[in-house]
Amino acid sequence: MDIGQMNLYLNYFKAEENVENDNEPIGIILSADKDEVLVEYATGGISNKIFVSKYQLYLPDKKLLQKQVKTILEKK
């Protein structure tokens, strides 16, 4: 999957699946490589909020990941 495909899915979901009072959908793309120039050009001009984070060899512990997502959602 690439950024353009993710943008397509996010736009579709926002227009066709979200109901009143839903937050905007988010997408997560996991990649083994992170090329700064590629990321810059791939995300340029995209209307959806796409955040690029640091590269990690592994996902955090499931409970830690759930806690971090909960913290982010509570800030809104």
d(CA 76, CA 61): 24
- Residue 57 has a pLDDT of 61
At 11, is the pLDDT very low, low, confident or very high (cuts 50, 70, 90)? confident
- What average pLDDT score do residues 21-35 get? 76
Instruction: Tell me the average pLDDT across 8-25.
Output: 89
Give pTM, 2 decimals: 0.49
pLDDT given at position 34: 67
CA distances for 8 relative to 12, 16, 18, 44, angstroms: 6, 12, 15, 15
pLDDT at residue 1, rounded to an integer: 47
CB 2 within 8 A of CB 39: no
CA distance 6 to 44: 14
